[in-house]
Structure 1
Amino acid sequence: MNTFKDKTRVNMEISHLHYISQGADGKAHLEHIDRVLKAGCNWVQLRMKNTAFEEVLETAHKAKKLCDKFNAKLIINDNVSIVQEVDAAGVHLGQQDMSTAEARKILGESKVIGGTANTLEQCLDHLKNGVDYIGLGPLRFTSTKEKLSPILGIDGYSSVLQKYLKNQNTVPIIAIGGITKEDFEALKSCGIHGVAVSGLLTQSQNPEEPINQVFRLWRKNKIF
């Protein structure tokens, strides 16, 4: 099966590094986002689970201003209405969230839509729904996600990507879930377009180091 993106849709390069925000409240999320943006990150996913809509919306407005200041893209986790309200770049949807097909109907062709997957079949389903990128994972256990899908490991990524790329699928796949700096080389070798990280940047004393490491590695020889 050959699956190609509709050429009429938004033409936006998907970053090789996605930062998924963390924090006890909106203020903490914004502090961490500001810090990683200053360190060179150009793609932020605001992820505030189990938080009141009003707080997420307020935080999203402020995060959008920060991302605009640094010419970075803001993706909202789960909530398409907030994407519309703050004019974010797009939405990322998990397996338990709204379907990527429904999100495309609501947001149209001008917004980025990403979807979480754990298997090749789920990746292919997302392609049919018109996603712009796929977050495949987890690589290993991570405490940032409550309902964790089966762990893939490097071998799991290799197996999925071998079949995915064999069919000339060009929608980028981003690795997610418990990723460390030591995993970058192996994931790049699998054919992964990039990585999504949370704690790695939030907790880093020097976030510039892993950010620059990702960009140097993936831009050296682009997969897509």
Structure 2
Amino acid sequence: MIISKLHYISQGNTPEAHLENIQKACTSGAELVQLHLTDVSDAKYLEIAKAAREITFHFQTRLIINSNYKIAKDVKAEGVHLEKSDICPTVVRPDLYSWQIIGGTANTLEDCESLIAKNSDYIILEPFKSSTKNSSTKALGLDGYTAISNALITEKPIIGFGDITTDDVTAILETGISGVAVSDAITENFDSIKQFNLLLKASATGEIRHTFE
């Protein structure tokens, strides 16, 4: 499966708001969305994930489930994204369908190398910019992205994340980063998806999509 160049990371004040925002993202042309729920029970996560799968299936949008690989398998999402504190990708892989993908979060070159060694399918490298959400982690910026991209020998897609706006995309791509994951900027203006896709040259009609048998 080709990894989309634009990932929308869902947000919302309630689980239902996450669904509303996923629907808006799909309507606006998102090719991949990550359902990113925190502080909810597994039962609630599964309920919302099933609803998200219905929405994304209708729009032929790829769905990634954050952290919970069992739910990703249950709802037949395209894959799971594992945070640094989550279970190891090598443990998760045998429990997923063969066509499902695994992404991982990295903050450093060493994190990236570890995820590559564990056969993650893509890496989200963060933060590009610092924010109150990740204030304990130093912003990588363009210099950090360039240094890590130059040091890595891999064909795995590296996706930038961390308060990225459309103004940042061109410079980020020049560092060797493959694409971007965006939450705030898209949630504030879903029409920006079209601009992100244009800057990333991520045409929805130009990518191969997985179809279920």
Please give the TM-score of this superposition, normalised by the length of structure 1: 0.85
Q: What do residues 98-146 of structure 1 show as CA deviations (whole Å, max 9, x unaligned)?
A: 1122111322532100000011111111111111100001001234x46
| Matching of residue 72 in structure 1 with residue 72 in structure 2 | no
- Indicate if the aligned counterparts of 2:5 and 2:202 stay in contact, CA closer than 8 A: no
**Counterpart-to-counterpart distance in 2, 1:147 and 1:49:** 18
Q: What do residues 65-105 of structure 1 show as CA deviations (whole Å, max 9, x unaligned)?
A: 11111111100000011011111111001111111221113
- SS of corresponding position for 2:201: helix
| Matching of residue 109 in structure 1 with residue 93 in structure 2 | no
Q: 1:210 aligns with which of 189, 195, 202?
A: 195
- SS of corresponding position for 2:33: strand
Q: What do residues 25-72 of structure 1 show as CA deviations (whole Å, max 9, x unaligned)?
A: 121111101111111101000000112222211110010011111111
Provide the residue aligned with 2:210 in structure 1: none
Q: 1:159 aligns with which of 147, 152, 160?
A: 147
**Counterpart-to-counterpart distance in 2, 1:83 and 1:217:** 25
Provide the residue aligned with 1:176 in structure 2: 161
Aligned residues: 204
Q: What do residues 148-182 of structure 1 show as CA deviations (whole Å, max 9, x unaligned)?
A: 53211110000000111xx3x10100001111111
- SS of corresponding position for 1:48: coil
Provide the residue aligned with 1:191 in structure 2: 176
| Matching of residue 39 in structure 1 with residue 14 in structure 2 | no
Please give the TM-score of this superposition, normalised by the length of structure 2: 0.89
- Indicate if the aligned counterparts of 2:127 and 2:134 stay in contact, CA closer than 8 A: no
Q: 1:135 aligns with which of 102, 107, 124?
A: 124
**Counterpart-to-counterpart distance in 1, 2:21 and 2:53:** 14
Provide the residue aligned with 2:137 in structure 1: 149
Aligned residues: CA RMSD? 1.9
**Any gaps of 5 or more consecutive residues in structure 1?**
1-11, 220-224
